[in-house]
Chain A
Amino acid sequence: MGVALLAEPPAERVAAVAPTDDDLIALALSGRGDAFGTLVERYERAVYHLAFRTLREIEEAKDAAQEAWIKAYRALASFRPGAKFATWIFTICYRVCCDRLAKRKRFTGDEPPDFADPSDGPERTYEAAEEAAGLRAAIQALPEKYRTVITLFHLQGKQYEEIATVLDLPLGTVKTHLFRAKDLLRAALGPTAKRRTT
């Protein structure tokens, strides 16, 4: 579930010998740039997704994703073999995003909203858009902490420990945030969902 599936290479490539992340890291550390390129191919979409969901701006998400990959490349030697690369790169990306959010708050006073904005809320968007677009809008309207948890839930699947590692939060807090995030999403999508059933 989650990124484990999303980041997997296509079936025809799996049919051939698909190197594991650890193999690719070992190759990259031995100077094989193409191995790092394969790692980037595997996870760049998920990393960008996390950056975009956290920052909500395309250009900044692009810069954050690039910065995360540069940091990962420089620190590749410190990657602990056996650990999950996805969790590691998500952790780096999340920290980069947090730094950018902190800077944004410091320089522009722009703070992520603590509550969904009712004027541009998910309900109205959902009425006019398709299901996926509505869900996306509902996620985007969530407060930052819930948005990140739900995004990682989407990427990592139901591996709460991994989410807790990335966010550096206690497991209980992750579960609480996730519960609250789902509650908000249900509340946002509820009226339309009901309408579709009638």
Chain B
Amino acid sequence: MTDDELDRALFALPLEEPPADLHQRIMAATVLRTAPAFRPWELWLLAGAVILIGCLAAWTLTSSPDAGTRLADAVVAVLRALGLFSRATYVWLAIGLSSVWWISSLPFMATPRPTVYNR
């Protein structure tokens, strides 16, 4: 076999057929890929901010006298203002939630709208 014959045979050789799903996979991983809600540096920034706030809060609570007690009192006051210490609140919540559950379990069927033909 001469060099020219080999070259001709090589160039006549068809390329390997890629798997059928390859194009879709490439597109899904590139163009059609949904952007993440946060970029990595944004996640690091958020994590840093949370840690900083946590450290500040811990430092405030430990450095100021009676800070823990005052904070607990404030939280209790807020909860009381929201009515979370009242039995009636929980009764109404239970009634509301059970009504929602009951309505959602009713066997309503979605009926198709009648087709209107324009003449």
Contacts and interface: CB of A to CB of B under 8 A. Distances in A.
Interface residues on B, range: 20 to 34
A2 B15 CA distance: 10
A44 B13 contact: no
Contacts of B17: 45
Nearest to B3: A182
- A-B pairs, top 9 by smallest CB distance, nearest first, are A33-B31, A48-B18, A73-B30, A49-B15, A193-B1, A69-B26, A49-B16, A52-B16, A45-B15
A102 interface: no
A62 B29 CA distance: 13
A146 interface: no
Interface of A: 1-2, 6, 33-34, 36-37, 40-41, 44-46, 48-49, 52-53, 58, 62, 65-66, 69-70, 73, 131-132, 135-136, 150, 153-155, 157, 182, 185-186, 189-190, 193
B13 A45 contact: no
Contacts of A182: 3, 6
B26 A66 contact: yes
Interface of B is mostly: helix
A135 B10 contact: yes
Contacts of A73: 30-31
Contacts of B27: 37, 40
**Which of B5, B17, B18 has most chain A Cβ within 10 Å?**
B18
B11 interface: yes
Q: Which of B15, B19, B25, B29 has the most CB of A within 10 A?
A: B15
